[in-house]
Structure 1
Amino acid sequence: MKKNMKSNLCSRWCSLMALVLVLTLGLLAGCGKSQEAAPVKQGQAASGQLVVTTYGGKYDEVFMKDVVQPFEAANPGVKIKLAPYTGVAKLAQGGGEQIDIVSLDDFDIVELGNKGLLSELQQKDFSTWEQLYPQTFLKSDDGKVIGLADQFGSWGIAYNPKEMAKPDSWNVFWDPGMKGKVAMMSQWIPDIILTAKARQATYENMDPVWQAVKEVTPNVVQYYSSFSEPEALFGSGAVQAASYFNGRVIAMKEAGKPVDFTIPKEGGVLIRATKGILASSKNQELSRKFVDFCMNPEVQVNFAKDMYYGPTNREAKLEPALAGKGVVYGKEAIDALITPDWNKLLQQRKDWLIKWVEATSR
């Protein structure tokens, strides 16, 4: 009997030790899992810091007010840090180590994507995906979505209505009476595209464009390189007409400056301010959450009210008074603008810019 008791005690002790071992291993495994970063899903709380490049000036003020601060309020553990505009050349040379999200024009996003520097964006990660206009999606040459436009603008003609009649054609810049009264963007593909339209050139034969650029140069008081420069030029009366953005013109007009905007008969170019996530970012999930927030209808409506650039989400509804100011809004207005095939045009970009420099040499 003693032998049986001893055997039973030994058996119970072994069972108890086995149970302790199983519980211990389970606890250790649970601790290990709790230290892993859980994926950030839409609607869940997030934490961390994101670095987002922006365009500077008034844009940063509006972006902070209408996008950053609401996002941080909805995600108390998150901090968004704005960084200066960073171009393709610097990013391609490793200048994006501390950056998560880039704000760039559509052609720069496409170029970065083709260099393999941007993450692919997929529908499953975005709650707004099906609400977006087709022109919102920027694709690399292999068909992957690598950027989402969060604002639509148009590129056309800004003019002083007190000094000249509303122009109906891009050819106004070549008018003999406009000598010394014109500003155009330096090395800017949308200007080249509209000049090709005005001179009925083809992308296979751009010679008429370079001749036209050579002819317009005497009329140009400044080939500007900063998007803010035309504001000062119109403010001082130095120019009567310029190639420019609709949104900035509306803002100047609202501020009481003598300037207006028109799309010439040759058409306007759709300008897409776009967000892309650097492939090198260590905050991929949180970055997608922020980009998705930028596509939110309410966010885009507020941005349009303050900055006059149109929404890329079909669910964003603008008041008639705001839309009537010339904001790019709605399918009809968007489809009427030229949407360049940047994957095709970027193959010619280097040659075009060389020819442009040669033609503008005085």
Structure 2
Amino acid sequence: MDMKKKWISSFTALALVAAMITGCNSNSSSESKSGTEGKPTGKITVYIGLQEDHAVAAMKKFTADTGIEAEMIRMSAGEILAKVRAEKDNPKADVWYGGPADTYVQAVSEGLLEPYKSPIADKIDAKYKDPDGYWTGVYVGAVGFASNKEFLEKKGLEAPKKWEDLLNPAFKGEVVMADPASSGTAYTALYTVLNVMGSEDKGFEYLTKLHPQVQQYTTSGAAPGRMVGMGEAGVGILFAHDIIKYQEEGFKNLVLTIPEDGTGYETGAIGIIKGSKNQELSQKFVDWTLSPEAQELGKTVGSFQNITNSDAVGPEQAVKLDEINTIDYDVAEAGKQRQRLIDKWSTEVK
């Protein structure tokens, strides 16, 4: 009887040890599947201002590189700001990616973004990032003019080389640009004009004269380039990298010129939306977008912005910023004045 009890006790002890070993192995397997080996899993939503093909490629590459799913909704910068503002009490997205930084500056002033200083941001020049980490620059793009070659030849004109050239009567009803209220591109152009003309008053005097020349104010900042390429307008005001993109896609009739009397530029940025429920994953996304691999992705899908990471190699076709006459574009001041200047433009010009 005693031997039987001893045997049962030994068997029970062995069974408990086996169960503990099995449990440990099971937990280890579960942790590996859940991505605790340096690759957190989950899903984020990104409001994105990049062109469609670049945006799609970025989402796919990010997921492939990190294992984190990313859903995107593409809009212009002004539209993204309006949506983030409307969703302030119940954010529907985690990250804002792409579009001029002055729009982000306004968002920061309204308490719409979370600060995050990525370790990779050390590779980015201080002028292309917020000192408190609310936004970080991913690319840089200068404002340019896109002219239709056939239109110029038919009218016996040269492509505009200065802002004043757009006031030529021959361009009446032939200029297209975006609406600053919806487009970050257009606001960059507006703020540029004020600087080039020397004062806000002179700048708005110019914009008032330009208004009768404008055929249409589009929602999208890049749309004027396609319209000019298709012969629907003679001249468009947009970012040079978008003009180059259209040229590379087959619109060989587009002539790119950069205003010799001065041009502004955007710092395309990224920031985390305040109240995001996926802070860790959002930070991983920011880190990824600042990496050389992510920044160099653009040139593989036909995006020709200058890029900000000093270790990355930008596209050969990109405009050389040190070879053009760029104004001293104060992103912080442009963001601070953004809503006031847009409201003034809407009232006094449009």
Which category of TM-score, normalised to the shorter sequence, fits these structures?
A: 0.7 to 0.9
Structure 2 counterpart of 1:259, from 231, 234, 254: 254
Code of the aligned partner of 2:82: A
Code of the aligned partner of 1:177: A
Give the whole-Å Cα distance in 2 for the aligned partners of 1:215 and 1:153. 26
Give the whole-Å Cα distance in 1 for the aligned partners of 2:124 and 2:340. 34
Give the whole-Å Cα distance in 1 for the aligned partners of 2:333 and 2:245. 33
Give the whole-Å Cα distance in 1 for the aligned partners of 2:335 and 2:225. 29
Map of 1:75 onto structure 2: 66
Give the whole-Å Cα distance in 1 for the aligned partners of 2:60 and 2:335. 36
Structure 1 counterpart of 2:170, from 177, 200, 207: 177
How far is the alpha carbon of 1:250 from its aligned partner?
Answer: 0.6
The number of residue pairs the alignment matches comes to 305
Map of 1:308 onto structure 2: 304
How far is the alpha carbon of 1:215 from its aligned partner?
Answer: 1.6
Residues 101 and 276 in structure 1, CA contact (< 8 A), matched pair in contact too: yes
C-alpha deviations, 1:295-345, integer Å up to 9, x for none?
Answer: 111221221342112211111124xxx42x2x1467x369x6335324323
Code of the aligned partner of 1:51: T
Which structure 2 residue ranges, 5 or more long, are not aligned? 1-26, 181-185
C-alpha deviations, 1:61-117, integer Å up to 9, x for none?
Answer: 22332x3223222323x2111124352233123256221101242112111112222
Code of the aligned partner of 2:137: A
C-alpha spacing 1:280/1:339, structure 2 compared with 1 (3 Å): farther
Give the whole-Å Cα distance in 1 for the aligned partners of 2:256 and 2:333. 29
Structure with the greater alpha carbon radius of gyration:
1
How far is the alpha carbon of 1:228 from its aligned partner?
Answer: 4.1
Code of the aligned partner of 2:313: K
Residues 270 and 286 in structure 2, CA contact (< 8 A), matched pair in contact too: yes
Residues 182 and 242 in structure 1, CA contact (< 8 A), matched pair in contact too: yes
How far is the alpha carbon of 1:55 from its aligned partner?
Answer: 2.8
Code of the aligned partner of 2:85: A
Residues 63 and 303 in structure 1, CA contact (< 8 A), matched pair in contact too: no
Residues 148 and 229 in structure 2, CA contact (< 8 A), matched pair in contact too: no
Structure 1 counterpart of 2:52, from 47, 51, 60: 60
Map of 2:81 onto structure 1: 88
Map of 2:159 onto structure 1: 166
C-alpha spacing 1:63/1:350, structure 2 compared with 1 (3 Å): closer
Which structure 1 residue ranges, 5 or more long, are not aligned? 1-30
Residues 194 and 266 in structure 1, CA contact (< 8 A), matched pair in contact too: no
Residues 158 and 244 in structure 1, CA contact (< 8 A), matched pair in contact too: yes
1:289-304 paired onto structure 2 within 5 Å: 289-304=284-299
Give the whole-Å Cα distance in 2 for the aligned partners of 1:297 and 1:223. 35
Residues 178 and 224 in structure 2, CA contact (< 8 A), matched pair in contact too: no
SS in 1 for 2:265: strand
Give the whole-Å Cα distance in 2 for the aligned partners of 1:83 and 1:280. 18
Give the whole-Å Cα distance in 2 for the aligned partners of 1:220 and 1:167. 15
Code of the aligned partner of 2:115: E
C-alpha spacing 1:234/1:136, structure 2 compared with 1 (3 Å): same
* Aligned-residue identity in percent: 22
C-alpha deviations, 1:183-231, integer Å up to 9, x for none?
Answer: 1232333222332244332xxxx22222222222222111222224314
SS in 1 for 2:114: coil
Structure 1 counterpart of 2:187, from 181, 186, 189: 189
SS in 1 for 2:113: coil
Return the TM-score normalized by structure 2: 0.77
Code of the aligned partner of 2:307: P
User: Is 1:109 the equivalent of 2:101?
Assistant: no
Give the whole-Å Cα distance in 1 for the aligned partners of 2:340 and 2:107. 19
C-alpha deviations, 1:147-193, integer Å up to 9, x for none?
Answer: 11222211122222441423321111111221122112323332223
Give the whole-Å Cα distance in 2 for the aligned partners of 1:185 and 1:329. 24
User: Is 1:273 the equivalent of 2:271?
Assistant: no
Code of the aligned partner of 2:217: Y
User: Is 1:47 the equivalent of 2:41?
Assistant: yes
How far is the alpha carbon of 1:39 from its aligned partner?
Answer: 12
Return the TM-score normalized by structure 1: 0.75
Code of the aligned partner of 2:72: L
SS in 1 for 2:341: helix
Residues 213 and 359 in structure 1, CA contact (< 8 A), matched pair in contact too: no
